Amino acid sequence: MTLIKSISGIRGTIGGHVGDNLTPIDAVKFASAYGTWIKQQRDKENYKVVVGRDARISGEMIQNLVMNTLVGLGIHVIDLGLSTTPTVEVAVPMEHADGGIILTASHNPKQWNALKLLDAKGEFLNGEEGAKILKIAEGNDMSFADVDNLGKITINDAYIDLHIDEVLDMDLVNVDAIKRANFKVVVDGVNSTGGIAIPLLLERLGVHPVKLYCEPNGHFPHNPEPLKEHLTDLSEAVVKAHADFGIVVDPDVDRLAFMDENGEMFGEEYTLVACADYVLSQTPGNTVSNMSSTRALRDITEKHGGTYEASAVGEVNVVNLMKKNNAVIGGEGNGGIIYPELHYGRDALVGVALFLSLLADKKINVSDLRASYPSYFMSKKKIQLTPELDVDGLLKAMEGKYSEENITTIDGVKIDFADSWVHLRKSNTEPIIRIYTEAPSQTAADELADKIILEIKGIANI
């Protein structure tokens, strides 16, 4: 079964059977539920929703289905066409819209697509509102507009440029210093909309972009998740071009990773660390990331006199804690930068501009910048369990076993040791426990993960 319904949206593989995959009928059904939810939020004469998509092969088909479903509900649509997740997020409040839909399956392969749902602030829905939409989709209480009250579709393809304008207007983006630095940067746009947006941003900043896989045709040249093992072509291109560094984004441009001038990964976890280092040096304050992100952010935050806090995994959880603690920057260790000055959403364009400002300010190369940060290494593993096992009970037992350590239970069980940590989380869809660890060396991180796995198996008698 490859149709996954959750509070954050619906995603699945294209084709196949209704209810088991993301078929046209499933797309229409879920868009209908979202549109019905939009109309329940406020009783008004005109409703408006912003819709954009990444460059997936199925994107145009799914977008037409979604937009015309909204039209059938009497909702006006602003069609951004090829866009990015953060661009749609920025566009919703600028359009004074009632919500937004991004058609993207993020880092998933080309056969996947998804509907990601935004509220009137351009932010992802919280769990309560997402659950309401799922409930609407399960029923038949959806009323469509009559012929005189259908919505209209308005095309607006200017929003990537408008998004870039907003990024360049941020106080901490030092456009003049970046232009003086005369950077050359290789961009891997994974043949999606990052290949449009990132080079345009770089050109506006006076940076010379060397384009790699920047044709937005949806044919991903490698696994689209921006991890080291998928980026050998970028590594070779950076060295061959004698570039200052490389940039890679995922298909919807909310995740960002860098590669240094030697073709070595800067580390996806360290994207947020570097951007936070720059922001905190200019505007001291607090930071937030999720519980599975590197401890280096805490170290950098405390170095600048701020307070770091960890949220449950999930962008909406990070955002909620950022608002509560007035964090000046936050995000996720997967390369997601959330900078509230512009908006509360992961934004690779914001991350690129802040990173370039940091390099221009410090006047050092990327490898030296990475060496200046605390070094931590992560291991990410999982245990496959049998369905009859009590996963919650296993996590509770591990919590008890390490009760003398610093324990956090807002999202599974996280155990903080003096120089390392382990985070145990159960899957919501299958009997799996995910084990994330971090330590001062890769060997130590792997050994800690293996030790925890053996202990869980011992408790479960497997």
**pTM confidence score:** 0.94
Enter the tokens of residue 357: 């400002």
Q: Facing residues of 172 across strands? A: none
Separation between Cα atoms, residue 262 and residue 257, nearest integer Å:
15
pLDDT at 1: 47
- For residue 443, the tally of other CB atoms under 10 A from its CB is 11
- For residue 425, the tally of other CB atoms under 10 A from its CB is 21
Separation between Cα atoms, residue 86 and residue 161, nearest integer Å:
12
The tens place of each residue's pLDDT in the chain, 462 residues long, gives: 478 887 667 999 999 999 999 999 999 999 999 999 999 999 999 999 999 999 999 999 999 999 999 999 999 999 999 999 999 999 999 999 999 999 999 989 999 999 999 999 999 998 899 999 999 999 888 999 999 999 999 999 999 999 999 999 999 999 999 999 999 999 999 999 999 999 999 999 999 999 999 999 999 999 998 888 999 999 999 999 999 999 999 999 999 999 999 999 999 999 999 999 999 999 999 999 999 999 999 999 999 999 999 999 999 999 999 999 999 999 999 899 999 999 999 999 999 999 999 999 999 999 999 999 999 999 999 998 887 888 889 999 999 999 999 999 999 999 999 999 999 998 766 678 999 999 999 999 999 999 999 999 998 887
HSE-CB of 200 using CA atoms within 13 angstroms: 18
Separation between Cα atoms, residue 415 and residue 386, nearest integer Å:
24
Contact 26/18 with Cβ under 8 angstroms?
yes
Separation between Cα atoms, residue 170 and residue 180, nearest integer Å:
18
List 8, 58, 83, 106, catalytic entry: 106
- DSSP letter string over 63-80? HHHHHHHHHHTTEEEEEE
Work out the angle at residue 112's Cα, subtended by the Cα atoms of residues 108 and 115, and round it to the nearest 5 degrees: 100
pLDDT at 125: 93
pLDDT at 398: 95
Strand order across the 406-408 sheet: 377-384, 432-439, 421-426, 413-416, 406-408
Strand order across the 184-188 sheet: 208-212, 184-188, 245-249, 256-259
Residue 106 falls in the annotated catalytic set: yes
Nearest to 166 by CA among 337, 283, 341, 319: 341
